[in-house]
């Protein structure tokens, strides 16, 4: 849909990516609407595996999306140049991709066009998911329905036939992508023409195209591309299993990025109730689990922490009168162990604007 150019942000002195509609689609109102929806969908998201949007602007009647510059090659180019990925590399790439999609689903967004060409792998190994031109919120898809859009070879049956697209539609596309990363082939024979070419065809067993893939991993990939959406795992479950496989077969664990669970939905509702920090000390000292304060209630004004300082011994009562003598009227107070209140003195300091060596301080007046 769009064309991407390398540009320079002269205000912040940095290189950015500049995306705009192609010449053929510039006068198409529907294409322009989808283009701006992509910008709005991306602008609300912050995740290590998603491209960050810096700005949306226009010049010469052209809408432009300014994003961070991602250096690297997309997975499709890597497959063409180097062939299938090694097992450990496929697990790491698949985990990052599934983790990004799980984050989108937490925000109520379905990508609908996941494929190797829409994921860029940077030289240091970090993956960036790009191209949100077909992304839609779940509420939007349920309220208005959706036209059939996407890449046919990666489209789930329900995406073609309807009636409803869910987050499991993205999981199907993740499964097809994982399959392709491992053997550089699609799981279905695309011998027919049209969108229905692979709907009624069973997936080809992964082990027949590449040996040495663990059975558990093969079963996970095939679960993702089952015809029935309810039989597929969620994107979060897929990411967790890929992380576990990486620990088993590669010797290290892949961690979920920080902030993954504390984002908010686009409508402002909290995804997970945040624990109130005022409750944490009480939890630690009591050794029991207390229910955190509701987000709609006010926390206690002061935190009641146990005092760890040793108790002071009480001071002995004074038995002698005040040095001022009984005529001062303080003798009875001294006998009770109390001294008269010391008058409160207010000290005012005034700084004169002199050199540092001659600066003076004194009381006003």
Higher local confidence (pLDDT), 106 or 340? 106
Q: Which CATH architecture has domain 2-68?
A: 2-Layer Sandwich (3.30)
Catalytic choice (60, 76, 113, 230): 113
Neighbours of 44 (CB within 10 A): 13
Average pLDDT, stretch 259-277? 36
Taking the model in full, what pTM does it have?
Answer: 0.65
More confident: 253 or 276: 253
HSE-up (13 A, CA, CB side) for residue 299: 14
Nearest to 105 by CA among 254, 233, 223: 233
Nearest Cα to Cα of residue 230 among 288, 285, 169: 169
55 is catalytic: no
Selection from 344, 342, 343, 362 nearest residue 352 by Cα: 362
Query: Looking at residues 269-278, what average pLDDT do you find?
Result: 32
pLDDT in tens, 185-239: 999 876 655 556 567 778 899 999 999 999 999 999 999 999 999 999 999 999 9
Structural fold of domain 73-250? Transferase(Phosphotransferase); domain 1 (1.10.510)
Neighbouring CB atoms inside 10 A of 224's CB total 27
* Contact between residue 63 and residue 78 where contact means Cβ atoms under 8 Å apart: no
Helix axis angle for 75-82 and 167-183, nearest 10°, is 20
Q: Give domain limits for the chain.
A: 2-68, 73-250
Alpha carbon separation from 173 to 64, 164, 167, 187, 307 (Å, rounded): 28, 16, 10, 11, 57
Q: Same CATH fold, 73-250 and 2-68?
A: no
């Amino acid at each position: 849909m769009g064309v991407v150019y390398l540009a320079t942000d002269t205000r912040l002195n940095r290189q950015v990516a500049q995306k705009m509609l192609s010449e053929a689609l510039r006068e198409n109102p529907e294409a322009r609407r989808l283009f701006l929806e992509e910008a709005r969908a991306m602008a609300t998201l912050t995740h290590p595996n998603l491209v960050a949007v810096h700005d949306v602007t226009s010049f010469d009647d052209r809408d432009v999306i300014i994003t961070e510059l991602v250096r690297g090659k997309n997975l499709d180019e890597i497959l063409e140049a180097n062939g299938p990925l090694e097992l450990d590399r496929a697990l790491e790439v698949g985990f990052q991709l599934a983790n990004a999609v799980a984050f989108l689903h937490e925000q109520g967004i379905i990508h609908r066009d996941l494929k190797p060409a829409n994921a860029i792998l940077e030289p240091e190994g970090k993956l960036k998911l790009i191209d949100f031109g077909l992304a839609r919120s779940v509420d939007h898809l349920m309220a208005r329905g959706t036209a059939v859009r996407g890449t046919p070879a990666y489209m789930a049956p329900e995406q073609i036939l309807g009636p409803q697209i869910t987050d499991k539609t993205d999981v199907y596309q993740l499964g097809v992508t994982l399959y392709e990363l491992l053997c550089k082939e699609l799981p279905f024979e695309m011998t027919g023409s049209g969108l229905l070419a692979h709907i009624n065809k069973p997936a080809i067993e992964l082990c027949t195209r590449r040996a040495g893939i663990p059975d558990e991993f093969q079963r996970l990939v095939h679960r993702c591309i089952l015809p029935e959406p309810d039989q597929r795992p969620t994107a979060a479950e897929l990411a967790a299993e890929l992380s576990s496989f990486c620990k088993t077969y590669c010797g290290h664990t892949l961690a979920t990025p920080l902030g993954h669970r504390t984002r908010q939905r686009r409508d402002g509702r909290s995804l997970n109730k945040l624990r109130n920090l005022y409750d944490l000390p009480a939890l630690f000292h009591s050794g029991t689990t207390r229910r955190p304060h509701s987000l709609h209630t006010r926390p206690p004004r002061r935190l009641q922490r146990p005092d760890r300082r040793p108790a002071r011994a009480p001071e002995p009562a004074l038995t002698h009168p005040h040095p001022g003598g009984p005529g001062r009227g303080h003798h009875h107070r001294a006998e009770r162990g109390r001294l008269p209140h010391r008058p409160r003195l207010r000290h005012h300091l005034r700084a004169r604007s002199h050199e540092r060596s001659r600066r003076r301080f004194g009381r006003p007046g």
